Amino acid sequence: MPPSTAIPAVSVVMPAYNAERFLRQAIESVLAQTYADFELLVVDDGSTDTTPDILQEFVRRDPRVRTHRMQPNGGAIAARNAGMAQTAGEFIAAMDADDVCLPHRIQRQIDFMRANPGVGVLGSYVQLIDDQGRTGQIKKYPADAALMSWSMLFLNCFAHPAVMMRRSVLNLAQGYAPECKGGSEDYDLFQRLNGLVRFGTVREVLLHYRRWGDNMTKRSWNEQEGDATRIVQDAVRRLIGTNVPAELASGLRGLSTGKYPETAAQVAALRGLMMNLYEAFIHQNQAWLEPAGGKQVRKDLAIKLWLLAAVVARRKPSLTISTALTATRIRPLSFFEFAAKAASRIRSNSL
């Protein structure tokens, strides 16, 4: 629990394992926030480098900084769950020991959460940086609540270290699942919360998200993808009550990651699954689904159907035609939206 009787509004939880290279910059970025009513708990996950010494420097310097030592190393999931248990803020802000918060991050997110009490999980846009701090691509995520909920069937709509959550929501999910591997615990958590709480996104960059050779995203990509397939299978089962093979679940992921089906049979199966998911999604969420949100979901479905039509064009023209007709029926102008998105992706990849 916090050392004072006053409980801060926000608890920032940061796991750290042998994090000496970027730890100071990460902590400094939290302490430089324009919003001051927070605590920062750094969970030292059995570090063997100078991480503990760095942490003690900040503990002596700023009373908002606390540490919790885990021994031996238990992994990021155990560290995150321990951090939740050791803090008391109404809101929990995730943070990693190699990323950098922009100064207004917490203020923007707390303002959004206060203004939107129905939102339980809130992310933001992020900008990638490398190990030298050089800035790169800005990653934008869906912001409409309905589109975010729908899109979670295909990809994780949040950059985890840019997320703020209500503690009540984390308690509802009972924290991060220990069985997850390779950094997929956030996707699993959000997927389990999908349909139970609303999602949101602040439409501006609030975090510099570091991609470098030794961070978890780089080291465990294959494990993450394997676990993500299982997570999607679980999500499909919850939505339509059907167990789908890993190949189909991986196909859903592939529509967002660029790994497209290789055969006409796979395209047909994926098209059928998406239509079933769409019908179930609209039916189950119609109580809160606003017209604008429904349009966003239809647009996304139609664009994905056009993508499938393009993938199978040379293999089975009749399937291409029927898939294109389905997409047009769902959203008459969707071909032009698909073409614009494809052109934008081509331009982005060529930069």
DSSP for 211-238 reads: --TTSHHHHTHHHHHHHHHHHHHHHHHH
Q: What band does 351 get if pLDDT is binned at 50, 70 and 90?
A: very low
SS (H, E, C) 171-191: HHHCCCCCCCCCCCHHHHHHH
What element of type H or E holds 290? none
The residue-averaged pLDDT of 27-53 equals 97
Which pair of tokens denotes residue 96? 């990693």
What are the tens digits of pLDDT across the range 4-39?
A: 558 999 999 999 999 999 999 999 999 999 999 999
Burial of 149 (0-12, 13-18, 19+ CB in 10 A): buried
> Nearest to residue 228, comparing CAs of 246, 244, 215?
246
Can you tell me whether residue 13 is helix, strand or coil?
Answer: strand
> Nearest to residue 116, comparing CAs of 148, 152, 86?
148
What are the tens digits of pLDDT across the range 78-134?
A: 999 999 999 999 999 999 999 999 999 999 999 999 999 999 999 999 999 999 999
The residue-averaged pLDDT of 44-50 equals 96
Which pair of tokens denotes residue 186? 């956030």
> Nearest to residue 79, comparing CAs of 89, 90, 69?
69
Calpha distance 96→160 (Å, rounded): 9
Q: Assess contact for 125 and 205: CB atoms under 8 A.
A: yes
Which pair of tokens denotes residue 346? 């081509």
Q: Assess contact for 122 and 159: CB atoms under 8 A.
A: no
What are the tens digits of pLDDT across the range 304-331?
A: 999 999 999 988 999 999 999 999 999 9
Calpha distance 114→118 (Å, rounded): 9
CA distances, 175 to each of 57, 84, 101 (Å): 30, 8, 23
> Nearest to residue 18, comparing CAs of 94, 83, 75, 86?
75
Can you tell me whether residue 30 is helix, strand or coil?
Answer: helix
Count of residues in the chain: 351
* Dihedrals phi, psi of 99, to nearest 5 degrees: -105, 175
**pLDDT score, position 257:** 86
User: How many alpha carbons lie under 13 Å from residue 137 in its C-beta half-sphere?
Assistant: 10
- Give the global pTM: 0.91
